[in-house]
Chains A and B, each alone.
Chain A
């Protein structure tokens, strides 16, 4: 009789759900239905109370969830007295087709927090009195909050770790994965236990509940994994695509995970007094815009965030500098804010990328939607699922994991890629390339390599990224699959492989960027994708291509064609082919025009500023010690030379390029100093001034003990036409000037010099000739010992 009633009513609830899709109604109706059945089957004796606990206690009874019952007994005697009558009661429920999970406890047991059964204490949080002795029921009042909070946090952290701490699984577990229904419960429990709900953002969970109802009804059991197959079935029932279904899921899971994460952080007990002290000290970084309390950032004037884009931008610079989290209220204000961002955001994004906690800042920008406000193009890949069994994450999460991986790499011990990451001239270029590298994946009609680069170009131009950096970033996106394809399908020891890639990347700088882009991209596919095996192949490809790009600098000379403009033809004629590999079209054009000018005036000087570095170009007839004199002039202004190159063409015009940083911001703060710098460089180059005079007092030695013994190695094999000298030494002001001057004194000519600076270590590679030829071995070793003396001096 009861059975028919239950199955008919349950079927009606199911039918209603499939017609209106309202999960809330299913849970309420099913709870009421089961309540009626439970109450009708057994009147408990005195001294016994029955509670609904777990999901049933919350009134959230999913179609195939267990019916959790707590049978509370006043005493051991009462426990004995119900042993007989309880069996037929439970059997009747099973006969109904209801899966009952019951436990019998005394009041005292419920008041104790058993470390081996924390679940009991947690399930009591959702208790709902069903029937029985009200006096016994009233005695139940557990008071172990502080301890329970920490136990709950511990269990939640363990559960999250099982899912790699991310919500972005392609086939997520609706209940247990981070951002799933269990996290929603954790949020509610923590709010209940701490009475701290004022700060909590409202969480919408209807979609998750609806999906779980579908899962239960479609599989006919308590199945909670949203597999590809079930995603398709739900999509069909709802008349939309599986991608849309999953986007809804990830949005909701993301919001739940954020709320849960914040509450876990706030309530986690400090592990030591030292930690608490450190945390309190961090509140001193508070400034006029933001207050820091318990490691979280609050707006000083909260409503200002609604209409002040500058403040929001400053907030992320603040995170990037101090590595602090947003307070829940701050996050909510950002989510509600509808500010429109200034178009010229490049300088500030550039600054964020260079700060120590850039990864955390970019993650916060992504999670609060600010990154999508700046780049609406990213909405296309928001929570986008591309099904394959190799990728673990959605496209947007893959992008963030790749960026975080790259930034962590810099501080890691992962030889040799960590070293490479430290050598990047501007990490912001690579981060921009990573942000957009897969943005074209939303469009299935075109190769994403091409469309991503096109979308990136427009977006990065809009924010004011300088042309040179922008071109580099877009080119990286176009090439981002090249290295992984080559390393799996080409013979890396075959010279043609290195030549092929060298022609694609054209410059050493771009090769370094592309290698790390590839490393980050593969590493972010899934936690196990970057095996030692793949890392080995990638590094091998990097080194063979690096050698290809730096070898035979002199061997190949450009042969011009008549299709070139006359001034360009005259300029390019006889320059090493490497010149074209290292310069953009715009730069070639500038240099060709400068050559015309230098023929009239004897010299042409140009100074360009981009981002944080300057490029100084000088064109004039080549002469001995020219490089040394210009390097000396730059050092006399306190400027830090990062790279210098010399190329000469058939007409013996030398193109000297110096890339340098201005650590004291002299040129930035005093624009007239730029004019004076160019004038001094001109005089030094034309020998109108004595450079050693300019440098008087500047050539100071680093204080303290020397930590690095200088090393000079000679290689007469790598280049056909020049001798290579590699110098590793402790960096100091004017070092390049002194080395170059010493080389000039030995009547040698510097063809190319590549400079790398890693913190206090300078790595300089000189390609040197004597009377246009390679140095004899003996001569080369003599020069090496002279240079070693210069370093030690």
Chain B
């Protein structure tokens, strides 16, 4: 099993959710996060005053998937989240040691 952690543009969340659902992924955790990568943030001027916008609003999507369709899921996710511009985000993949369903005690892929 792998865990995918993807940081994406907030307005792409619906597209990503929809695309993953079509691929059969129906469980995920969403958080509203702020941060910056290479995009770095920027300085804005408004009415003669400067505001530093160093942390940009993003959405973090976390999902755990079986090893098998991992590549397809990553492709689907990237395709749905891409605009082609700086700030589109990143995906990170981690190994997961175990998954346990709290209600029924299912383990491994069955718990996903």
Contact for A491 among B11, B13, B34, B51, CB less than 8 A? B11
Complex-state Cα separation, A38 to B13, whole angstroms:
64
Segment of A233-241, A530-538, A650-658, A667-675 engaged in the interface with chain B: A530-538
Query: Which residues of A sit under 8 angstroms from B47, Cβ to Cβ?
Result: 419, 423, 756, 763
| B48 and A711 within 8 A (CB) | yes
Contact for A488 among B10, B34, B44, B49, CB less than 8 A? B10
Segment of B20-28, B52-60, B93-101 engaged in the interface with chain A: B52-60
Q: Which of B1-17 contact A (CB under 8 A)?
A: 9-11, 13-14
Q: Which 5 residue pairs spanning A and B have beta carbons closest together?
A: A728-B48, A533-B32, A536-B57, A533-B57, A537-B57
Query: Which residues of B sit under 8 angstroms from A489, Cβ to Cβ?
Result: 11, 14
Given known A-B contacts A419-B49, A763-B48, A536 and B55 have beta carbons under 8 A apart: yes
How would residues 494 to 505 of chain A score, 1 for a CB under 8 Å from any chain B CB and 0 otherwise? 100000000000
Smallest CB separation, B12 vs chain A (Å) = 8
| B53 and A488 within 8 A (CB) | no
| B48 and A492 within 8 A (CB) | no
Query: Which residues of B sit under 8 angstroms from A543, Cβ to Cβ?
Result: 44, 46
B75 at the interface (CB under 8 A from A): no
A445 at the interface (CB under 8 A from B): no
A360 at the interface (CB under 8 A from B): no
| B53 and A540 within 8 A (CB) | yes
B79 at the interface (CB under 8 A from A): no
A726 at the interface (CB under 8 A from B): yes
Complex-state Cα separation, A301 to B14, whole angstroms:
62
Query: Which residues of A sit under 8 angstroms from B57, Cβ to Cβ?
Result: 533-534, 536-537, 540
Query: Which residues of B sit under 8 angstroms from A220, Cβ to Cβ?
Result: none
Query: Which residues of A sit under 8 angstroms from B13, Cβ to Cβ?
Result: 488
Q: Which of B33, B46, B47, B51 has the most CB of A within 10 A?
A: B47
Complex-state Cα separation, A489 to B53, whole angstroms:
21
Query: Which residues of A sit under 8 angstroms from B103, Cβ to Cβ?
Result: none
Complex-state Cα separation, A135 to B34, whole angstroms:
71
Complex-state Cα separation, A534 to B46, whole angstroms:
19
A415 at the interface (CB under 8 A from B): yes
A490 at the interface (CB under 8 A from B): yes
A4 at the interface (CB under 8 A from B): no
A117 at the interface (CB under 8 A from B): no
| A415 and B11 within 8 A (CB) | no
Smallest CB separation, A351 vs chain B (Å) = 28
Q: How large is the interface on B (under 10, 10 to 19, 20 to 34, 35 or more residues)?
A: 20 to 34
| B48 and A533 within 8 A (CB) | no
How would residues 46 to 84 of chain B score, 1 for a CB under 8 Å from any chain A CB and 0 otherwise? 111101010111000000000000000000000000010
Given known A-B contacts A416-B46, A489-B14, A536-B57, A531 and B85 have beta carbons under 8 A apart: no
Smallest CB separation, A335 vs chain B (Å) = 44
Query: Which residues of A sit under 8 angstroms from B53, Cβ to Cβ?
Result: 536, 539-540
Given known A-B contacts A533-B32, A536-B53, A537-B57, A491 and B9 have beta carbons under 8 A apart: yes
Complex-state Cα separation, A642 to B106, whole angstroms:
69
Complex-state Cα separation, A532 to B56, whole angstroms:
10
Q: Which residue of B lies closest to A497 (CB)?
A: B11
Smallest CB separation, A94 vs chain B (Å) = 36
Smallest CB separation, B86 vs chain A (Å) = 9
Complex-state Cα separation, A756 to B59, whole angstroms:
36
| A533 and B11 within 8 A (CB) | no
Complex-state Cα separation, A533 to B48, whole angstroms:
24
Residues of B within 8 A of A (CB): 9-11, 13-14, 32-34, 44, 46-49, 51, 53, 55-57, 83, 85, 87
How would residues 563 to 583 of chain A score, 1 for a CB under 8 Å from any chain B CB and 0 otherwise? 000000000000000000000
Q: Which residue of B lies closest to A531 (CB)?
A: B32
Contact for A490 among B11, B34, B46, B56, CB less than 8 A? B11
Query: Which residues of B sit under 8 angstroms from A415, Cβ to Cβ?
Result: 51
Q: Which residue of A lies closest to B49 (CB)?
A: A419
- 16 pairs from A and B in contact (CB 8 Å cutoff): A415-B51, A419-B49, A423-B47, A488-B10, A488-B11, A489-B14, A531-B32, A532-B34, A533-B34, A534-B32, A534-B57, A536-B55, A540-B53, A543-B46, A728-B48, A763-B48
| B51 and A416 within 8 A (CB) | yes
Contact for A492 among B11, B14, B46, B51, CB less than 8 A? B11
Given contacts A490-B11, A491-B83, A539-B53, 12 further A-B contacts (CB under 8 A): A419-B46, A488-B11, A491-B9, A493-B85, A531-B32, A533-B32, A533-B34, A536-B56, A537-B57, A540-B53, A543-B44, A543-B46
Query: Which residues of B sit under 8 angstroms from A711, Cβ to Cβ?
Result: 48
Complex-state Cα separation, A490 to B14, whole angstroms:
11
Smallest CB separation, A494 vs chain B (Å) = 8
| B33 and A533 within 8 A (CB) | yes
Complex-state Cα separation, A494 to B9, whole angstroms:
13
Complex-state Cα separation, A580 to B9, whole angstroms:
34
Query: Which residues of A sit under 8 angstroms from B51, Cβ to Cβ?
Result: 415-416
Smallest CB separation, B10 vs chain A (Å) = 6
Complex-state Cα separation, A539 to B51, whole angstroms:
11
Complex-state Cα separation, A536 to B48, whole angstroms:
19
Complex-state Cα separation, A199 to B94, whole angstroms:
68
Complex-state Cα separation, A531 to B44, whole angstroms:
20
Complex-state Cα separation, A196 to B85, whole angstroms:
70
Query: Which residues of B sit under 8 angstroms from A490, Cβ to Cβ?
Result: 11
Query: Which residues of B sit under 8 angstroms from A756, Cβ to Cβ?
Result: 47
Q: Which residue of B lies closest to A416 (CB)?
A: B51
Q: Which of A415-455 contact B (CB under 8 A)?
A: 415-416, 419, 423
Smallest CB separation, B8 vs chain A (Å) = 12
Q: Which residue of A lies closest to B51 (CB)?
A: A416
Query: Which residues of A sit under 8 angstroms from B34, Cβ to Cβ?
Result: 532-533, 536
Smallest CB separation, A420 vs chain B (Å) = 9
Complex-state Cα separation, A709 to B13, whole angstroms:
46
Complex-state Cα separation, A488 to B53, whole angstroms:
18
Query: Which residues of B sit under 8 angstroms from A713, Cβ to Cβ?
Result: 48
Complex-state Cα separation, A756 to B49, whole angstroms:
13
Complex-state Cα separation, A253 to B21, whole angstroms:
45
Smallest CB separation, B107 vs chain A (Å) = 31
Smallest CB separation, B82 vs chain A (Å) = 11
Q: Which of A516-554 contact B (CB under 8 A)?
A: 531-534, 536-537, 539-540, 543, 546
How would residues 341 to 378 of chain A score, 1 for a CB under 8 Å from any chain B CB and 0 otherwise? 00000000000000000000000000000000000000
Query: Which residues of A sit under 8 angstroms from B11, Cβ to Cβ?
Result: 487-492
Contact for A493 among B32, B48, B87, CB less than 8 A? B87
Q: Which residue of A lies closest to B15 (CB)?
A: A489
Query: Which residues of A sit under 8 angstroms from B44, Cβ to Cβ?
Result: 543
Smallest CB separation, B54 vs chain A (Å) = 10
Q: Which residue of A lies closest to B33 (CB)?
A: A533
Complex-state Cα separation, A416 to B56, whole angstroms:
15
Query: Which residues of A sit under 8 angstroms from B9, Cβ to Cβ?
Result: 491
Q: Which residue of A lies closest to B14 (CB)?
A: A489
Complex-state Cα separation, A534 to B51, whole angstroms:
17
Complex-state Cα separation, A415 to B46, whole angstroms:
11
Q: Which of A718-753 contact B (CB under 8 A)?
A: 726, 728
Query: Which residues of B sit under 8 angstroms from A532, Cβ to Cβ?
Result: 34, 55
Q: Which residue of B lies closest to A536 (CB)?
A: B57
Smallest CB separation, A288 vs chain B (Å) = 44
Query: Which residues of A sit under 8 angstroms from B32, Cβ to Cβ?
Result: 531, 533-534
Q: Which residue of B lies closest to A543 (CB)?
A: B44
How would residues 96 to 131 of chain A score, 1 for a CB under 8 Å from any chain B CB and 0 otherwise? 000000000000000000000000000000000000
Query: Which residues of A sit under 8 angstroms from B49, Cβ to Cβ?
Result: 416, 419
Query: Which residues of B sit under 8 angstroms from A423, Cβ to Cβ?
Result: 47
Query: Which residues of B sit under 8 angstroms from A539, Cβ to Cβ?
Result: 53
Query: Which residues of B sit under 8 angstroms from A726, Cβ to Cβ?
Result: 48
Complex-state Cα separation, A488 to B14, whole angstroms:
9
Q: Which residue of A lies closest to B31 (CB)?
A: A533
Complex-state Cα separation, A487 to B44, whole angstroms:
18
Complex-state Cα separation, A490 to B10, whole angstroms:
9
Smallest CB separation, A725 vs chain B (Å) = 12
Complex-state Cα separation, A543 to B57, whole angstroms:
15
Smallest CB separation, B11 vs chain A (Å) = 5
Complex-state Cα separation, A707 to B60, whole angstroms:
46
Complex-state Cα separation, A763 to B83, whole angstroms:
37
